[in-house]
């Protein structure tokens, strides 16, 4: 067994044992409250730049399969668990989680008191950190964490996107152009289930090029990093307002908020997990939602004459959904495609198709 150290920028040290690749990784440490779905979490491009701590105490018991990846490779900088299950028991399992992480060069640690770490993050906020199996000097690791870049002001989208545009479900009826900012595969699957033909394009694609594809609608995907650093994508979305029905999820919602003139800010410890209550302000119904974001659109900066607030987070009253009052445009901060998590909000993909109809 190889020892591993998680060092936070404020000097807090957590020691454990490695079960992934050897090496050293820098990132912002966050916690995820999902009880299952670790493969989807590890492969979610929105986690680029972050070291993920799972609050559920036993991880890895059903292994890794070929179907549940949310992108073409894992994107977490590091992975932290209380206890790693070396036995993987599931009929779909192809390999253990530890072998999968080693294969993709992801540093991981078990044996850490994840309750203490989670409580520390809740009190201190998300902190820059370093996870290492190679350095034993705690002071050096803390200094490395302090000197790391963090997430604010960084464009991490360019590090997770697919290199070329591609088609998904080419026999679908409704033509959707999806701007890939780190798109999850289950978003594409949900659009396909609603009879959409999706052309996934890189964020460098211009509004003119998108319109030349003659789409019925525009989809703005999730993705990592600071939304305020993505003004080139915000500009593209801005230029397409009023010309197409638009649906945005997570980072797509944040970029749409900026396109409407709003501002974004960083949350203290973000929303990461599958148990976040969100209220629809029109129906007063509450959905339990999947969330993964560290930034949020500031409600007070939006023009209420044009924009209607549709959904609110019941934990901290932050913005979870909005729509344009006159144009066929709406977005949500949470993940209606789940993967992993509850599927209370899947109906939103059908709502997007209704706008295109």
Alpha-carbon distance 46 to 225, whole Å?
Answer: 7
Which structure tokens are listed for 92?
A: 């779909």
**Burial (CB count <10 Å: 0-12, 13-18, 19+), residue 136:** exposed
Q: Any idea which architecture 157-356 has in CATH?
A: 3-Layer(aba) Sandwich (3.40)
Question: Are the C-beta atoms of residues 45 and 182 closer than 8 Å to each other?
Answer: yes
The CA-to-CA distance between both ends of the chain, in Å, stands at: 58
What are the structure tokens assigned to 307, written together? 């924009």
pLDDT computed for residue 163 by the predictor: 85
**Which among 170, 215, 153 is positioned nearest to 356, based on CA atoms?**
215
CB 56 within 8 A of CB 66: no
Tokens (6 digits) for 46: 């929105």
Count of helices and strands (H, E) across the chain: 9, 19
Active-site positions read 250, 335, 337
Residue 254 CB-density burial (10 A; 0-12 exposed, 13-18 middle, 19+ buried): buried
Give the architecture (CATH level 2) of 3-147: 3-Layer(bba) Sandwich (3.50)
Q: Check: CB of residue 39 under 8 Å from CB of residue 186.
A: no
For 239, counting Cβ atoms within 10 Å of its Cβ (0-12 exposed, 13-18 middle, 19+ buried), the class is middle
Token reading at 56: 């559920």
Domain boundaries, the chain: 3-147, 157-356
Q: Quote the distance between the C-alpha of residue 252 and its chain's center.
A: 11
Q: List 308's β-bridge partners, or say none.
A: 323
Identify the residue whose tokens are 């397409």: 240
Burial state string for 24-60 with b = 16 or more CB within 10 A and e = fewer than 16: bbbbbbbbbebbebbbbbbbbbbbbbbbbbbbbeebb
Structure-token pair, residue 97: 């989680």
pTM: 0.96
Rounded Cα distance between 338 and 204, Å, is 27
Residue 225 CA neighbour count, 13 Å, CB half: 22
Strands (E) across the chain are located at 3-8, 13-18, 24-32, 50-54, 58-59, 78-80, 83-84, 107-110, 127-132, 166-168, 174-179, 196-201, 217-220, 246-249, 264-280, 286-297, 307-313, 319-324, 329-332
- How would you write 313-325 as a 3-class SS string? ECCCCCEEEEEEC
pLDDT in tens, the chain (357 residues): 899 999 999 999 999 999 999 999 999 999 999 999 999 999 999 999 999 999 999 999 999 999 999 999 999 999 999 999 999 999 999 999 999 999 999 999 999 999 999 999 999 999 999 999 999 999 999 999 999 999 999 999 999 999 899 999 999 999 999 999 999 999 999 999 999 999 999 999 999 999 999 999 999 999 999 999 999 999 999 999 999 999 999 999 999 999 999 999 999 999 999 999 999 999 999 999 999 999 999 999 999 999 999 999 999 999 999 999 999 999 999 999 999 999 999 999 999 999 999
């Amino acid at each position: 067994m190889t020892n591993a150290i998680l060092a936070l920028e404020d000097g807090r040290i957590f020691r454990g044992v490695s079960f992934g690749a050897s090496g050293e990784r820098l990132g912002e440490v966050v916690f995820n409250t999902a009880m299952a779905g670790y493969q989807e979490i590890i492969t979610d491009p929105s986690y680029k730049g972050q070291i993920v701590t799972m609050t559920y105490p036993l991880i890895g018991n059903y292994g890794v399969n070929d179907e549940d990846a949310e992108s073409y490779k894992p994107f977490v900088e590091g992975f932290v668990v209380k206890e790693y299950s070396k036995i993987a028991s599931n009929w779909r399992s192809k390999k253990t989680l530890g072998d999968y992480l080693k294969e993709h060069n992801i540093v991981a640690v078990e044996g850490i008191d994840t309750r203490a770490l989670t409580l520390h993050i809740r009190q201190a906020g998300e902190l820059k950190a370093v996870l290492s199996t190679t350095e034993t000097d705690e002071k050096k690791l803390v200094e490395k964490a302090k000197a790391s870049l963090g997430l604010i002001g960084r464009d991490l989208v360019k590090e997770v996107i697919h290199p070329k545009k591609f088609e998904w479900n080419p026999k679908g009826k409704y033509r959707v152009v999806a701007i890939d900012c780190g798109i999850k595969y289950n978003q594409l699957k949900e659009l396909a289930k609603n009879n959409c033909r999706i052309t996934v394009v890189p964020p460098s694609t211009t509004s003119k090029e998108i319109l030349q594809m003659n789409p019925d609608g525009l989809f703005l995907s999730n993705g990592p990093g600071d939304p305020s650093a993505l003004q080139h994508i915000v500009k593209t979305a801005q230029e397409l307002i009023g010309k197409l029905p638009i649906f945005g999820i997570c980072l797509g919602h944040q970029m749409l908020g900026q396109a409407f003139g709003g501002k974004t800010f960083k949350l203290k410890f973000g929303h990461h997990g599958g148990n976040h209550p969100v209220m629809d302000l029109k129906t007063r119904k509450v959905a339990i939602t999947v969330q993964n974001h560290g930034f949020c659109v500031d409600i007070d900066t939006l023009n209420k004459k044009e924009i209607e607030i549709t959904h609110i987070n019941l934990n901290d009253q932050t913005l979870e959904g909005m729509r344009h009052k006159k144009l066929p445009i709406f977005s949500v901060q949470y993940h209606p495609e789940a993967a992993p998590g509850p599927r209370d909000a899947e109906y939103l993909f059908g709502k997007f198709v209704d706008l295109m109809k």
